Structure 1
Amino acid sequence: MSLSRGNIQEANEHLKQLHQKVFELENQIQMQAMHIDELQKTNFELHRKLQETASEKESETTSELKKRLQDSEEQVVKLLSAAQERDVAMVRLEEKSRLFYEAVEHKGALVKIVEVLEELSRDSTVENVSKNSEQ
């Protein structure tokens, strides 16, 4: 059994869309990684400014400064959690991609198996029709 031109075009379009989605997801991950870097730099800068402010403004209470620091640390924890979630999603995408490429590698064998199954199905149908017509 050979694949029709339409089937091949449809498969190629599907592959193109899949590659485009993987490309988009990779870009999103890169953008998010850059965003995390920026947020970490911002967090570092906030820590630095907090230290400057503490020395410049002795009138501020220690509890106020601790609250700011705690908020910054909570933000870092949230960002690290978000980064970990993206890492988990990336691992899942990599696994799906690996499975897809394995399936593509064995496409010829899969097509042959489908052909054999179709042949067996046709043979089985012919036998059943023959048996029914003999009765």
Structure 2
Amino acid sequence: MIIGVGIDIVDQQRIEQSIARFKERFLTRIFTAQEASRCNDCRHPVERFAGRFAAKEAFMKAIGRSALRPVTFVEIEVLNRASGAPYIVTHGTAKMLCEQLGVQHIHLSLTHSAGIAAAVVILEV
């Protein structure tokens, strides 16, 4: 059964400007070390950062922002399977909320095109 759906779209230029302006402070507040490393190692890092940012926002919308304890961006980690498919790993409060809600599967779809990145997250019990 689906208990949450979230979608988000991000202007890649906005992410690029945030990285240029706030540098490491922005990156460490939003992305885990593993995410940052993977994004920086690819041919289009801003595209990758934007996709991951959209995924984190979509997850927060799916889980609901009315939680007593807020979820931070680094508690939502976007990784890739060997096939390249993205998936979400939760930590801290995000993990606790998923456990409380009985979430068994977090479905994630990402896309990048023409300066935008978008993500859809579906939570299933």
**TM-score > 0.5 by shorter chain:** no
Report the structure number with the largest CA radius of gyration.
Answer: 1
Structure having greater relative contact order (Cα 8 Å, sep ≥ 6): 2
Shorter-chain TM-score range: under 0.3
TM-score normalised per structure 2: 0.26
The structure with the greater share of residues assigned to helix is: 1
